[in-house]
Amino acid sequence: MSNPVRDLDVGQPHAARMYDYFLGGKEHFPADREAAEKVLDAAPSVPVMARENRAFMIRAARFLAAEAGIRQFLDIGTGLPTSPNLHEVVQTIAPEARVVYADNDPLVLVHARALLTSTPAGRTAYLDADLRHPLSVLVSDEVRDTLDLRQPVALSLIAILHFLTDADDPYAIVAHLMNELPAGSALMLSHLTADHSPAADQVATLYREQGIPTVARSHDEVTRFFTGLHLIDPGVTTVHRWRPDTPDVSRTDAEVSVYGAVARKA
């Protein structure tokens, strides 16, 4: 039987494992560390970007569970489990919440199956899938068995869309996913931007040099993902400014260089 970890091409860096390195995790390989260090040389604030992005995910998920009352979540581009994970955030508020995680990294699959355990009242599932094929996500047994697509679902696309090029047509992918979700559903996403610092473009270039397609998009381009949806205040903003628990005036937009927002479907 194939061993997912043994079968990994450990000589090829992967975005999820590099992100784990930036967050101070240990689930990565020498190739990931080498690639990440090149990025850090060009943009030393990348760990700040990663931490603020993670904090945004927690606040956005908490908002959707506590204030919007959503009890179902579809998280595509999960990455390696880092506590608190999305299901830990929402099940603390609503133990009955259901979460499906999807990613296409075998190492994420191994850790997800071992660590992403649900409360007894709720459910979690993990799907090995690629965002570029949204239909395969929606018709999967994991989604159909875990989520009721007749009821509101929060689609979580955290720090994943910047790995889709224009040729992938990411706007059509997001629109397809949201069109299949019922009224009352929500979209939460974050995305790399070079609006505030040229270092973000350097990060994207270095990722591409490692074989990881990466595109930093502008405020208007990120806002376009929410076409037809109702943006929740404060709209599309750098993630550390999206409903912070305690405003951190020491962080600048240039350091963070990640946009984030949450929107509802009417």
- Per-residue pLDDT, averaged over 78-97, amounts to 90
**Who wins on pLDDT, 122 or 248?**
122
- Per-residue pLDDT, averaged over 76-92, amounts to 88
Q: For residue 266, is pLDDT > 70?
A: yes
pLDDT band of 6, cuts 50, 70, 90: very low
Measuring CA to CA, which residue among 172, 163, 165 is closest to residue 207?
Answer: 163
Q: Residues for the chain: how many in total?
A: 266
Q: Give start and end residues of each alpha helix (H) in 116-198.
A: 134-138, 141-146, 170-179
Residue 126 contacts residue 113 (beta carbons within 8 Å): yes
pLDDT at 46: 92
**Who wins on pLDDT, 69 or 6?**
69
Domains along the sequence of the chain with CATH: 15-264 (3.40.50.150)
| Per-state percent for the chain, helix, strand, coil, to nearest 5 | 40, 15, 40
The most confident of 20-29, 96-105, 138-147, by mean pLDDT = 138-147
- Per-residue pLDDT, averaged over 23-38, amounts to 82
| Rounded Cα–Cα distance for residues 77 and 164 (Å) | 11
Q: For residue 7, is pLDDT > 50?
A: no
pLDDT at 5: 43
Global pTM value: 0.91
What is the share, in percent, of the chain residues with pLDDT greater than 90? 67
| Rounded Cα–Cα distance for residues 124 and 87 (Å) | 7
The secondary structure element, H or E, covering residue 204 is: helix 199-209
pLDDT tens digits along 127-147 = 999 999 999 999 999 999 999
